Structure 1
Amino acid sequence: MKETNCWIPYEQRRGHRADFKVHYRFYPEAEGGRKLLPFQGYRSDFSYEGDDLRETGVFAIHPEFEDENGDVVLDLTSPVPAEGTARM
């Protein structure tokens, strides 16, 4: 399998558009957040306030980060922006 440094957007790979878009911000380490920013392809776990994690477990979401122009970030060699928009 040939390795590539270019992300293939979900819409192209899976044939459907994102369900919704979010504005995100990764908290810096000084605010109790991340030491390093993630790269495109990052998967995150989440839960809803009030969930009993022993019963529900956690959910996973697969954001597809966008650049400042609203285009999907294709570069897999650089971290995504610390703040911006992502397709979900």
Structure 2
Amino acid sequence: MNPIEKKKLKAQAHPLNPVVMIGQSGLTPAVLKEINLALDAHELIKVKIRAERDERSEIRDQICSETHAELIQSIGQVVVLFRKNPKK
């Protein structure tokens, strides 16, 4: 994805609220399933990760690799993810 496309997606994501929140339990299979469902439905989502800084980056990378989503933006505890839905 080129920088121009990422910039457009960042602008689209700005007014969105986090769809999934990851808490004390961390990244569980149920949370991954919920993220996959949200990506299928919306393509562009925000995820809030309530963890320490080092742990947040690990969780973020794990989400991207397991859901095949592309990281658009990461600011503090909020991560913006995009995955094109071929059915749309």
* Structure richer in helix, relative to its length: 2
Taking structure 2 as the reference length, the TM-score comes to 0.27
Structure with max Cα Rg: 1
Taking structure 1 as the reference length, the TM-score comes to 0.27
Greater RCO, CA 8 A, separation 6+: 1
